[in-house]
Amino acid sequence: MNVLDTTKALLKELIAFPTISSNSNLDMIDCLAQYLSSSGATVEIWRDESGRKANLFATIGPNIDDGIVLSGHCDVVPTADQDWTNDPFEMIERNGKLFGRGTCDMKGFIAAAVAMAPRYAQLNLKRPIHFAFTYDEEVGCFGAQALAQSLRQHRLNPAVAIVGEPTSMRIIEGHKGCYEYITHFTGLEGHGSNPDQGVNAVEYATRYVSRLLELKDELRSKAPKNCRFEPPWTTINTGALIGGTARNVIPGKARVEWEMRPVQPSDADFVKNHLDQYCTHALLPAMQAICPDASVVTEIIAEVDGLEPVPENEARTILSELTGTHETDLVSFGTEAGMFQALGMTVVVCGPGSIEQAHKSDEYVSVTQISQCLEMLDRLCERLV
């Protein structure tokens, strides 16, 4: 069986694992561990506190620093309320395309990387090749955050990371961060006929949203010079304002769901510091003057670092040589790449499939894209020996 057929067979097996983020990923991790172990890799499995999720980190080659990481996430988005032509967890090949949930986002890359493991194991590697497969990327990159801690604890210091998100095999050297929050307002319920006797949580939430809108406008002027992102400034989006029960009841509870996409870490600090000062010195004193137990609490859903484009990037240089192109780009969607960069690695995002197919019904990756990915991974051998 050639490596393309091996990849398709393994991808079919991986698609059959319904690793929606709410489910366990342990069966898929065990499957990958068996493939990699049989190829001669040293495999580590690090479980989360619940024991239902795990990261896998495997190595082929010498036990030294300076390795190259092939990274992918195991979880996929739900299929509920989507109109699929076939069972989303049964891979179907049709007209040169491989259909199934996760085929492009991003089990196609994982299958290709693991299918190449026997090839890497045959070489006299001077530089280790690592495989890093994580949980819960789709709901906040929690697995990658745990993986980063594990790498620090085990004093593992790879130098390069290739994150195989679907980019149509384009080299991506940067993306914004994604910080998501829910801010909860607790006031004091009362009768609508006497509003001064209550603390209207919806009204204070509205004032909070007004401050978010002011910060949103201020961030436009803080765009870095020659920034290549579109738009070139940090954005804020208010996704939901929820609260109240009836027209004649002072609402005691409300919440604002919002996010920001920082182009630089200092913007995130700017927003959080200003909101903290606004709540501490404006909102809370007014609320607690009537109800001492009133509160404003911001719940962190996820704080995923962006991938910052840098002048010197070994990962970019390697991928340019492997793909034969010096063109690079930035994307709007987030990945786990920023966490690898924070560990001191140089990082690029490059993988088979188009982000336009991700998260949709009848998700697919083309066989041509898988073949291009395998060619890239095969050429990587030259950088390992």
Show which residues are catalytic: 75, 137
- As to burial, measured by CB atoms within 10 angstroms (0-12 exposed, 13-18 middle, 19+ buried), residue 8 is buried
How far is Cα 85 from Cα 83, in angstroms, rounded to an integer?
Answer: 7
Which amino acid, one-letter code, is at 110? I
Token pair, residue 216, equals 């949103």
Please, which residues bridge with residue 163 across strands?
71, 349
Do residues 150 and 343 touch, judged by C-beta distance below 8 A?
no
**What pairing do the DSSP bridges indicate for beta strands 129-134 and 68-73?**
parallel
3-state secondary structure at position 63: coil
**What pairing do the DSSP bridges indicate for beta strands 92-94 and 160-163?**
unpaired
Sign (positive/negative) of CA torsion 192, 194, 195, 199?
negative
**What pairing do the DSSP bridges indicate for beta strands 68-73 and 160-163?**
parallel
Report CA-CA distances (Å) from 323 to 7, 182, 372, 375, 380. Answer: 20, 42, 9, 9, 10
